[in-house]
Amino acid sequence: MKKEEVPQDNGSLSKVAQEICYAIDENGNYTTVQSSGWKVKSTALDESIKLIEERVEQTKKEITAGKLSPLAYFMEVHRMDISILASYVGIHRWFVKRHFNPKRFRKLSDKTLKKYADVFEISVEELKNFTVNN
């Protein structure tokens, strides 16, 4: 793509940051060009953010219903899955999945809760006393 053909469509990303793209300049050399976005990419990004927000809302409902522990909420908000969370806290996936059970979560030691709290950049007390606010 030529330097002057780099997309400059304003989208959700353009309000926060600009993207660096590679393009060919007038001398035929590769160079970097800032782009404020590309409509197709912005649409895809908006859709993925909408899906994440829906998952967070569903997780809140399940926590309120007593089906999930607060770990599920923080995992969703930080855009993680069980494998990623497990690797960050240094606990096997199987145990992390079990910690999503509210009864098991309440029995976790402060040492284990500290591992989770550190990953989510919150205090152990915030994790223990988390309540869903709509």
Using alpha carbons, select from 37, 33, 35 the residue that is nearest to residue 10. Answer: 37
Burial of 9 (0-12, 13-18, 19+ CB in 10 A): middle
**CB burial of residue 41 (10 Å; 0-12, 13-18, 19+):** middle
Would you give per-residue pLDDT tens digits along the chain (134 residues)? 777 777 677 766 656 667 788 888 888 889 888 887 777 777 888 898 899 999 999 999 999 999 999 999 999 999 999 999 999 999 999 999 999 999 999 999 999 999 999 999 999 999 999 988 75
Question: 106: helix, coil or strand?
Answer: helix
Predicted structure pTM score: 0.73
